[in-house]
């Protein structure tokens, strides 16, 4: 059950009864300090001003009206009309038991929606670099969370597989094949791209052939299509290895690249012209948008077809949104893309709405991503200024994790060490991304990432192993409990409250695409567990029934940590 949502609704209802507007905000938050209860209501003051009532008086009226059905044991009015709510221990006990019995940890069903999530989106004949990492990792956590809640999620890997550069790439691939070295060279995509470009810039015969191939490719020429396919496949096979290594759920059939929308583009342009949204201007087809101004303060012109007939990234994204609504039946669309593409998306969506391709009832959301920076605040690059490749980054993380684990466990078997190093290194890289607010630029730092202390994956993975070891010591039948949960100490109650807030965290991530909220939740939970573990003996508890009660708290904590990490795409191990 979503406690926050329940309390918010009840308080809002009371406020509306007392004359507040229907959209008033109760502002229910987790209390900052235990002396303020478990939840505090912060919205009374602002509403009291509107209703011209003393805040404490309004607070009192709200409290008198509240019917919370046993969830609270105490409701207090504090300061200038704050309301502090204390959850009732027997209510907590009952809901903890329900959570233990539920495969979804008590998280309620939501009305399922078809949601398209656009993420990762690398470009063909270029290696994925750290710039694509955020979209891939944050997007995948969001996808996993939406699926957990029961939504029908369509993963769309909008790869950059179309454009004029393909003539040059095909011509170069052909040249390599003639020289008999295609397989070798193409495996380093970055080098391949650069060499192709060099030929294109220097060799006029090559340039001519490249231009000819673009035209042929667009006309559907068999040979050019085959060569193009090869470039797409080689690139995506390499990327798939990275997805697998990163434990990212993307598969080959999630690819819905730019080329998919080709057949739609002429129709889109003529339709936009017909609807009077686009018009010819200096030979190109342009949409003038009142909503955006250019430097001269005039409506901004967005080109959708160039003078030479070529379509643009914008045209493709217009078609793509239309397709996702009409063909995929999306009820919500989420795009995990760099914040530098915000204006592009806003223009696309303004056009899409004007043309009626996607109704207002279907949200189009840009979940923006900040940049990845190095310690000096500059974009994250290698010493020589090149982009850091993902494989190199993962290799280094693995190396560091191996060293860390081997130092801690000198006698661990090689196979276990290797497996552990893998789980730990991938967890570290992903968690470092996920635990920061996605919109802010993020400073890459190895040391914070692989620490047993603080808000890291390792801290949470380690907390999980401590719980696993309790159940291992206890042996079989670990799931059979004969006594109920009884919350006696403050450590038990605090852990219990946090356990029941899992749903709040998950719902927030699903709504806003902010996995850092889940990370903070998990970290808090792990810290509370550790405090509980120090103060409340489990296996050596005074009575068998107390032991059983605490075991259940430990069990639910373990399952919540594992499930939470799983939603983040991070694995757990039973010991480390
Ligand atoms: N391939 C693009 C890039 O690397 C990202 C595509 C994002 N998705 C979209 N629908 N435009 O910048």
Query: Picking from 29-38, 185-194, 391-400, 454-463, which range would have the lowest pLDDT averaged per residue?
Result: 185-194
**pLDDT band per the 50, 70, 90 thresholds, residue 385:** low
> Rounded to an integer, what distance in angstroms lies between the CA atom of residue 234 and that of residue 230?
6
Please tell me which residue, 476 or 397, carries the higher pLDDT value: 397
**Domain boundaries, given as residue ranges, for the chain:** 3-87, 89-117+388-576, 165-256
Give the pLDDT of residue 382: 63
In angstroms, the CA 497 to CA 422 distance is 33
Greater model confidence, 422 or 183: 422
User: Considering only the top CATH level, what class is 3-87?
Assistant: alpha beta
The Å distance, Cα 116 to ligand 1 centre, comes to: 15
Ligand 1 atom 11: residue of nearest CA: 317
Q: Look at ligand 1, atom 5, and give the residue with the nearest C-alpha.
A: 121
Q: Which residues line ligand 1 (CB under 6 A)?
A: 118, 121, 123, 158, 160, 317, 320, 335, 337
pLDDT of residue 383: 63
Tell me the per-residue pLDDT of 19-73, one tens digit each, with 9 for 90 and over: 999 999 999 999 988 889 999 999 999 999 999 999 999 999 999 999 998 999 9
Long-range contacts of 284-290 (CB under 8 A, 24+ apart): 287/351, 289/347, 289/350, 289/351
How crowded is the C-beta side of 164, counted as CA atoms within 13 Å?
Answer: 12
Give the angle subtended at the CA of 117 by the CAs of 165 and 398, to the nearest 5°.
80
Q: How many residues are recorded in the chain?
A: 576
Query: Angle CA(326)–CA(332)–CA(334) in degrees, nearest 5?
Result: 110
User: Would you state the pLDDT for residue 387?
Assistant: 66
CATH class of the 89-117+388-576 domain in this structure: mainly alpha
* CB atoms near residue 392 (< 10 Å): 13
**Ligand 1 atom nearest 160 alpha carbon:** 1
Residues paired with 287 in a beta bridge: 278, 302
Q: How many A from CA of 101 to the centre of ligand 1?
A: 43
Rounded Cα distance between 175 and 261, Å, is 29
**Alpha-carbon distances, residue 536 vs 35, 442, 489 (angstroms):** 21, 38, 8
Average pLDDT over residues 324-352: 97
Chain centroid to Cα 157, Å, comes to 14
What is the structure's pLDDT at 450? Answer: 82
- CA angle, residues 473, 475, 481, in degrees to nearest 5: 105
- 197: pLDDT strictly greater than 60: yes
Q: Looking at residue 476, what is its pLDDT? A: 52
172 Cα to the center of ligand 1, angstroms? 24
The predicted pLDDT at position 183 comes to 75
**What is the DSSP track for 89-145?**
HHHHHHHHHHHHH-TTTTPPP----EEEEE----BTTS--BHHHHHHHHHHHHHHHH
pLDDT band, residue 127 (cuts 50/70/90): confident
Token readout for 154 is 């369509």
Tokens of 342: 């915000």
Find the radius of gyration of the CA atoms of the chain: 28
Q: What share of the chain is helix, strand, coil (3-state, %, to 5)?
A: 55, 15, 30
Tokens read off for 83 = 């309301």
Where residue 479 falls among pLDDT bands split at 50, 70, 90? low
| Whether pLDDT at 472 is above 90 | no
pLDDT bucket at 448, cuts 50 / 70 / 90: confident
Q: Identify the band that residue 423 occupies on the pLDDT scale cut at 50, 70 and 90.
A: very high
Q: Which of 108, 232, 98, 127 is nearest to 189 (CA)?
A: 127
Residues 6+ apart with CB under 8 A from 126: 160, 189, 190, 193, 235
pLDDT bracket for residue 77 (50, 70, 90):
very high
Ligand 1 atom closest to the CA of 345, numbered from 1: 11
CB contact at 8 A, 120 and 114 = no
Phi, psi of 388 (to 5 degrees): -80, 130
Selection from 523, 522, 526, 553 nearest residue 537 by Cα: 553
Pairing mode of beta strands 332-338, 114-118:
parallel
| Residue among 136, 158, 346 whose CB has most ligand 1 atoms within 8 A, to mutate | 158
Three-class SS string for 550-562? HHHHHHHHHHHHH
Element of type H or E holding 229: helix 222-245
Q: How far apart are the CA of 158 and the centre of ligand 1, in A?
A: 6
Least confident range of 131-140, 247-256, 442-451, 543-552: 442-451
Helices of type H across 179-221: 182-186, 189-202, 204-219
Write down the residue that tokens 């192993």 correspond to: 465
* 441 alpha carbon – ligand 1 mean position (Å): 19
State whether residue 333 is helix, strand or coil: strand
Q: How far is the CA of 314 from the centre of ligand 1 (A)?
A: 11
Give residue 477's pLDDT band: very low, low, confident or very high (50, 70, 90): low
pLDDT of amino acid 59: 97
pLDDT at 481 exceeding the cut of 90: no
Closest ligand 1 atom to residue 320 Cα is 10
Ligand 1 centroid from CA 228, angstroms:
19
Binned at pLDDT 50, 70 and 90, residue 132 comes out as: confident
Look over the chain and give the mean of its residue pLDDT values, rounded to a whole number. 93
Among 119, 121, 257, which residue has the most ligand 1 atoms within 8 Å of its CB, making it the best to mutate?
A: 121
pLDDT of residue 478 exceeding 60 = no
Question: Distance between terminal CA atoms of the chain?
Answer: 33
pLDDT (mean) for 159-175: 95
pLDDT in tens, 93-113: 999 999 999 999 999 989 999
Q: CA 218, CA 427: separation in Å to the nearest integer?
A: 42
Q: What is the pLDDT, as a whole number, of residue 186?
A: 77
Q: Which residue has the CA at smallest separation from atom 8 of ligand 1?
A: 158
What's the mean pLDDT in 298-317? 94
User: What distance in angstroms lies between residue 267's CA and the mean position of ligand 1's atoms?
Assistant: 22
- Tens of pLDDT, residues 491-545: 999 999 999 999 999 999 999 999 999 999 999 999 999 999 999 999 999 999 9
Mutate to test the pocket of ligand 1, among 189, 341, 346, 371 (most ligand atoms within 8 A of CB): 341
Question: Which residue, judged by its Cα, is nearest atom 4 of ligand 1?
Answer: 122
């Amino acid at each position: 059950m979503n406690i926050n949502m329940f309390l918010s609704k009840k308080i809002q209802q009371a406020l509306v009864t007392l004359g507040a507007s229907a959209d008033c905000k109760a502002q229910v938050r987790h209390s900052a300090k235990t002396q303020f209860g478990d939840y505090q209501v912060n919205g009374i003051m602002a509403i009291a001003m509107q209703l011209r009532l003393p805040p404490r008086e309004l607070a009192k009226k709200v409290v008198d009206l509240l019917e919370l059905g046993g969830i609270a044991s105490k409701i207090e009015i504090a300061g200038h009309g704050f309301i502090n709510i204390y959850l009732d221990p027997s209510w907590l006990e009952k809901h903890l038991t329900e959570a233990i019995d539920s495969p979804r940890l008590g998280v309620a069903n939501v009305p399922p929606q078809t949601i398209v999530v656009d993420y990762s989106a690398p470009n063909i004949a270029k290696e994925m670099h750290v710039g694509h990492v955020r979209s891939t990792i944050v997007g995948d956590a969001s996808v996993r969370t939406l699926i957990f809640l029961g939504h029908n999620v369509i993963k769309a890997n909008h790869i950059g597989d179309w454009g004029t550069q393909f003539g040059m790439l095909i011509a170069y691939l052909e040249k390599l094949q003639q020289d008999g070295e295609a397989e070798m060279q193409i495996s380093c995509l970055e080098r391949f791209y650069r060499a192709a470009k060099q030929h294109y810039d220097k060799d006029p015969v090559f340039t001519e052939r490249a231009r000819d191939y673009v035209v042929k490719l667009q006309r559907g020429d068999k040979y050019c299509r085959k060569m193009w396919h090869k470039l797409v496949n080689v690139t995506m096979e390499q990327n798939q290895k990275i997805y697998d290594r990163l434990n990212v759920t993307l598969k080959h059939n999630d690819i819905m690249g730019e080329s998919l929308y080709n057949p739609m583009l002429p129709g889109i342009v003529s339709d936009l012209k017909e609807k009077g949204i686009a018009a010819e201007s200096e030979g190109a087809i342009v949409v003038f948008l009142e909503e955006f101004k250019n430097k001269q303060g005039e409506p901004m012109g967005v080109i959708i077809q160039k003078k030479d007939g070529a379509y643009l990234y914008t045209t493709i994204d217009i078609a793509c949104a239309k397709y996702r609504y009409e063909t995929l039946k999306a009820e919500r669309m989420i795009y995990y893309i760099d914040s530098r593409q915000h204006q592009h998306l806003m223009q696309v969506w303004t056009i899409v709405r004007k043309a009626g391709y996607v109704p207002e009832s279907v949200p189009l959301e840009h979940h923006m991503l900040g940049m990845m920076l190095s310690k000096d605040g500059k974009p994250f690059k290698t010493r020589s200024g090149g982009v850091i490749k993902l494989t190199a980054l993962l290799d280094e993380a693995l190396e560091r994790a191996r060293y860390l684990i081997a130092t801690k466990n000198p006698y661990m078997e090689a196979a276990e060490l290797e497996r552990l190093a893998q789980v730990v290194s991938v967890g570290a890289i992903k968690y470092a991304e996920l635990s920061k607010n996605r919109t802010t630029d993020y400073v890459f730092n190895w040391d914070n990432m692989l620490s047993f202390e603080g808000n890291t994956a390792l801290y949470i993975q380690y907390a999980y192993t401590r719980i696993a070891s309790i159940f291992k010591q206890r042996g079989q039948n670990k799931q059979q409990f004969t006594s109920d949960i009884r919350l006696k100490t403050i450590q038990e109650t605090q852990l219990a409250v946090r356990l029941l807030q899992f749903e709040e965290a998950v719902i927030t991530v699903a709504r806003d695409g902010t996995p850092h909220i889940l990370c903070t939740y998990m970290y808090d939970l792990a810290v509370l567990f550790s405090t509980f573990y120090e103060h409340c003996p489990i296996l050596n508890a005074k009575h068998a029934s107390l032991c059983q009660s605490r075991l259940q708290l430990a069990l639910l904590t373990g399952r919540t940590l594992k499930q939470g990490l799983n939603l983040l795409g991070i694995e757990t191990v039973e010991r480390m």
